[in-house]
Chain A
């Protein structure tokens, strides 16, 4: 096990370095940021002076060498846009994104497993149809549409919930519902698909012959076998959320890494983009390692290779 983890971490490290290199050079393809930092009316000399001072006029390779020197001294880049060290910005925004992603994913996985399993239990039945329709409708609805209509309805008309902002449980309701819709929709379909197969298998018949209750058959025997593809999709959706829930952060004003990433890309704030990608990449690599471990835990046949 330790050997497995060791090689995986090593491989991930190499991949991470490759990723940072790719981001470093690709992001510099999106043009010289000088025009974006300086006001629109800045004169040509000011632009030249600014570009020279911050090294934007140098070639990407030279900038990379400077970057390496800085990194060796522990400076991971300074955001000119926000006038703060880039990594500090990202690490400040990250807890919010992780909390949002965590709560949304746990709820949507739990719900999707229950709904998907019951739907697969009687395919074509009433529950199956309704749950598929509802989950798909939720997944394919534009999320900002749900968010803003939710605010107009529940905050403005009914005054049940605050319009936006960070705070107690009532601040979480709308953002989490919006965040959950898409992962839940996809998860229900995947759980249903894999449970359909598991429920019609021979070992379920044996379990019944042993007098095991129906819900144990669904949620223990069948679900454990359907687990593999369910975790894979859940993992991918969590990655999507780790990359930041842009819509929720934008509409509800949650300071997450999604909005930070989008703004940095649009404003060509290279250090912040690099820092954000580095942190998200580490989280995603870690998540994928955990998922691979879950594979082994869930399916013994894989364990014995």
Chain B
């Protein structure tokens, strides 16, 4: 965390204007990623983490999505106000993205090799045969057997894991400084999941690439991430180094999350699912958004939005009773 962050998102606000109401998908998310660091964004579905990732790269379809506040700075440069031409050069070269379901995210009618080579062509880095060879080399690097032959195949001819590897190959083609992975392994079974995460780690270390890992899987966060940012109802409610946060959470929601997940050392203990269901982002409760489902909730929580309480250097939590939660 010491040196200058490669990406810093400050008080990002995104709303969807559909129907006669406005859905506040992201309510002031703030987080940052240091070079060569893996930051995990943890949260249930509907917590706004995927929207945040898309907003960072300005991939939200507008309308209905509108970024109504906050800033996204990449190496000091504000991404959101970048002119179109510059934004187009930025995507793929500086930041790249890996999506969750490769089957729908890859173009079904173009060969895998062509789609990867397109990155080189689109950014004027290489053309024709040179671009194809680089694509083949990338396929090899991400562990696809017999890459020269497979480059000519199409998306539907690959297994789930292989498709995800193609996505990753595409993302790291121009060795971006930051890779955003939006639930890269959710659609895969556990064994393949581990291989993909391992691949991501190796590639990251090889090219000193920072990574934002968006997931709801605590196990993955624990294994791979350096820092974790817990999101609830469109805000980052707690963040800090992974080991610290996961061992002694300072926010009621993080604690509840940890208790609702089976872990080896608590064998025999009854799991405690979190009561209620994620909030309706069109009607976010006043005060602390988690208060309706929170064990520690008091009147204060219901009325006043909790301040950000610093727990330790590089750690904070937005909870009136951060101390009490911390001591549990």
Contacts and interface: CB of A to CB of B under 8 A. Distances in A.
Asked if chains A and B are in direct contact (CB within 8 A), the reply is yes
A299 B110 CA distance: 9
B239 to A, nearest CB: 25
B91 A211 contact: yes
A203 B122 contact: no
A210 B119 contact: yes
B59 A205 contact: yes
A77 to B, nearest CB: 47
Interface in B99-118: 99, 101, 104-111, 118
B179 to A, nearest CB: 11
Q: Interface on chain A toward B: helix, strand, loop, or mixed SS?
A: helix
Contacts of A216: 122
Contacts of B104: 201-203
Contacts of B91: 208-211
A117 to B, nearest CB: 16
Nearest to A222: B107
A224 interface: yes
Given A203-B105, A216-B122, A224-B110, 8 more contacts: A202-B104, A205-B59, A206-B106, A209-B97, A210-B96, A211-B89, A213-B122, A301-B156
A212 B122 contact: yes
Interface in A179-224: 200-203, 205-213, 216, 221, 224
A168 interface: no
A267 interface: no
Contact of B96 (A201, A209, A298, A299): A209
A300 interface: yes
Interface string A242-278: 0000000000000000000000000000000000000
A110 B101 CA distance: 34
B108 A301 contact: yes
B293 to A, nearest CB: 32
Interface in B79-103: 88-93, 96-97, 99, 101
Given A209-B92, A209-B97, A210-B91, A225 B109 contact: yes
A3 interface: no
A206 B122 contact: no
B154 A301 contact: yes
A225 B122 CA distance: 20
A304 interface: yes
A210 B92 CA distance: 5
A212 B117 CA distance: 12
B118 A225 contact: no
Contacts of B225: none
Interface residues of B, number: 29
B123 interface: yes
Q: Interface on chain B toward A: helix, strand, loop, or mixed SS?
A: mixed
24 contacts: A202-B99, A202-B104, A203-B104, A206-B106, A207-B107, A209-B57, A209-B91, A209-B96, A209-B97, A210-B92, A210-B96, A210-B118, A211-B88, A211-B89, A211-B92, A211-B93, A211-B123, A224-B109, A224-B110, A225-B108, A225-B109, A298-B109, A300-B109, A301-B109
Contacts of B59: 205, 208-209
B157 interface: yes
A212 B173 CA distance: 14
Interface in B45-85: 57, 59, 61
A303 to B, nearest CB: 9
A203 B89 CA distance: 19
B34 interface: no
Nearest to B174: A211
A269 B123 CA distance: 65
Interface string A277-305: 00000000000000000000011110010
Most buried by A among B57, B97, B109, B154: B109
Contact of A299 (B57, B90, B109, B111): B109
Given A210-B170, A211-B89, A202 B105 contact: yes
Given A209-B59, A209-B96, A203 B90 contact: no
A203 B157 contact: no
Contacts of A210: 91-92, 96, 118-119, 122, 170
Contacts of B93: 211
A299 B109 CA distance: 6
**What 3 A-B pairs are tightest by C-beta distance, nearest first?**
A211-B92, A211-B91, A202-B104
Contacts of A208: 59, 91
